């Protein structure tokens, strides 16, 4: 079975993230941000992407960044709540990348003691709605958007091992696929 290489992204990956967002068409950007956005908005957003202790993960199905998942704790949350957001390049959708990223984000949230994860999408975004439902999210319609709420269980030795193993495998793949001279 094919295992999707997903790894945590770091500030040195910023050029890859910027390239990924530049490859998204206006519909994909509207789906990601919930409204049409300008190139200047995206550039400002990306300039701060690592500034608030967010966990950013990337999917590399062909050794290039094709999907990005973000996990951000909600500030001053008494119940340990976080938000997630995903982007997948249009030509790479429907290949399990969004599912792989969301699974990885939920494991990361679980291992950090986050009890609840929220995801917003446009009410017309059927792919995200199906993805949220697949992960047993509670869906609510809120003014043209769907809010998906996912509960995460307590961390376990297995969930910690899953996250560590995922990072190890992604790192090993990155080394093995390093361009040769």
Give the domain CATH number at 22.
Answer: 3.40.630.30
pLDDT at 2 over 60: no
Mean pLDDT lowest among 41-45, 66-70, 101-105, 111-115: 111-115
Interatomic CA distance for residues 34 and 129, integer angstroms:
14
Model confidence at 179, pLDDT cuts 50, 70, 90, reads: low
Let me know if residue 16 belongs to a domain: yes
CB 141 within 8 A of CB 124: no
Mean pLDDT of 173-177: 68
Task: Report the helix count and the strand count for the chain, using DSSP H and E.
Answer: 6, 7
What are the structure tokens assigned to 54, written together? 């967010």
pLDDT at 167: 76
CB 150 within 8 A of CB 117: yes
Interatomic CA distance for residues 65 and 6, integer angstroms:
9
Let me know if residue 86 belongs to a domain: yes
Mean pLDDT of 3-9: 89
Let me know if residue 157 belongs to a domain: yes
pLDDT at 181: 58
For 38-63, how does the pLDDT look when each residue is reduced to its tens digit (9 = 90+)?
Answer: 999 999 999 999 887 789 999 999 88
Question: Could you give phi then psi for residue 63, rounded to 5 degrees?
Answer: 70, 10
Let me know if residue 1 belongs to a domain: no
Let me know if residue 181 belongs to a domain: no
pLDDT at 53: 77
Average pLDDT score, the chain: 88
CB 150 within 8 A of CB 128: no
For residue 111, the enclosing domain spans 6-176
pLDDT at 1: 35
Mean pLDDT of 51-77: 89
Number of structural domains in the chain = 1
Let me know if residue 18 belongs to a domain: yes
* Residue in 25, 46, 42 with CA at minimum distance from that of residue 33: 42
Let me know if residue 132 belongs to a domain: yes
Residue 64 has a CB neighbour count (10 Å cut-off) of 15
pLDDT at 180 over 90: no
Let me know if residue 13 belongs to a domain: yes
For 122-170, how does the pLDDT look when each residue is reduced to its tens digit (9 = 90+)?
Answer: 999 999 999 999 999 999 998 889 999 988 888 888 888 888 887 777 7
DSSP letter at 60? -
pLDDT at 132: 93
Q: Please report, to the nearest 10 degrees, the dihedral formed by the alpha carbons of residues 80, 48, 44, 77 taken in order.
A: 20
Radius of gyration of the chain (CA): 16
């Amino acid at each position: 079975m094919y295992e999707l290489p997903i790894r945590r992204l770091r500030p040195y990956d910023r050029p890859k993230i910027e390239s990924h967002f530049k490859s998204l068409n206006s519909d994909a950007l509207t789906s990601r941000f919930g409204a049409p956005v300008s190139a200047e908005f995206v550039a400002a957003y990306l300039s701060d992407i690592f500034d608030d202790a967010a966990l950013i993960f990337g999917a590399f199905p062909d050794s290039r960044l094709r999907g990005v998942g973000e996990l951000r704790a909600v500030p001053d949350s008494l119940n340990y709540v976080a938000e997630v957001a995903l982007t997948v390049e249009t030509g790479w959708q429907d290949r399990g990348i969004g599912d792989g990223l969301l699974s990885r984000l939920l494991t990361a949230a679980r291992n950090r003691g986050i009890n609840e994860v929220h995801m917003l999408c446009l009410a017309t975004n059927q792919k995200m709605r199906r993805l949220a439902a697949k992960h047993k999210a509670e869906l609510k319609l809120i003014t043209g958007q769907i809010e998906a709420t996912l509960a995460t269980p307590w961390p376990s030795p297995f969930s910690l091992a899953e996250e560590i193993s995922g990072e190890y495998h992604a790192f090993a793949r990155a080394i093995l696929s390093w361009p040769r001279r």
